[in-house]
Chains A and B, each alone.
Chain A
């Protein structure tokens, strides 16, 4: 546990802000309400490209779904995010999900458009999966320090914490059950 804390601390230090954007805080219930599926999987392939307008660089990741925690999802999902690097032209903005081939993650997926999903709540809906030395898997929030978080209706904001993956998944299922979402 001690070692995991150190690893997580180093992870936080390694994700100091690149830029910044402002997002309204979303809790798990809100993420679930805005998701078509919640999946656990591995990023197979990532590529960046100019969007058809030529104004912006997008990145698409192919994610192999290992487990669909809530909702329904195909065995491989295409997930699109904003930003990336094309021939050395880089677009960066904090708060947007990032993908690297080989990474394992848990994603809240918004409804697909033309076969491509996005991550619900931007980085709020993305968790990296990390294993400690004992083999216990943790879900580590992707939310980086470059994100300016605003809260509505006087709510207080606490940055999400790493949780044991099995505990986290149980919490999500319970939240979905209480909200009546994904009951089938």
Chain B
């Protein structure tokens, strides 16, 4: 086999993978992993101090996570629950999924808005993978919540958190613009708070 032919075949393989990826659009985290039962995300009851909705955004964030226009309305019934509660016992890998608005482990500063830790999964006896924890922390940057005025440097907490919860459920990024799991959004765009058909296909594929 000539070098040219090897290069051509390699290029064909890469292009085929990219085309296949673009046809299926949504991407699941690898390895494919799911929760045994609906996770109950504990939403920090202190809220985020930058959100001026009178509740520091905690209730709106919780409601966005469980909303019927997000993951729970995708067609697989309830796939995620959320409760506003204390996160004082925040610990990665402890089996209690939490959203902590104050980044107690100091990993999300500077240009980091939110970090989701998805590395907590184990293999079931049948070879599939089971998620046993996932935690989200946010930075101290300025956030807004739906209905609030939003400046050019603020991000809507609902949209970003629904996106992060998508990862918590086992979903990766899509190339479908406008979907919740599209990996880019601008300030004051709360579109990701509502899932799109591509996101629904992803969650229905998993659950």
Contacts and interface: CB of A to CB of B under 8 A. Distances in A.
Size bracket, chain A contacts:
35 or more
B11 A16 contact: no
Contacts of A87: none
A101 interface: no
A18 B27 CA distance: 11
A161 to B, nearest CB: 16
B23 to A, nearest CB: 16
B187 A153 contact: yes
Interface centre among A17, A51, A96, A151 (most CB of B within 10 A): A17
A32 B90 CA distance: 34
A124 B111 contact: yes
Contacts, number: 142
A137 to B, nearest CB: 21
Interface in B89-110: 90-93, 104-105, 107-108, 110
Interface residues of B, number: 42
Contact of B14 (A10, A21, A23, A55): A10
Contacts of A41: none
A146 B172 contact: yes
B64 to A, nearest CB: 15
Contacts of A121: 110-111
Interface in A66-116: 82-83, 89-93, 95-96, 110
A25 B110 CA distance: 11
B185 interface: yes
Contacts of B114: 21-22
B187 A150 contact: yes
B149 interface: no
A162 interface: no
A53 interface: yes
Nearest to A16: B30
Interface string A149-165: 11111110100000000
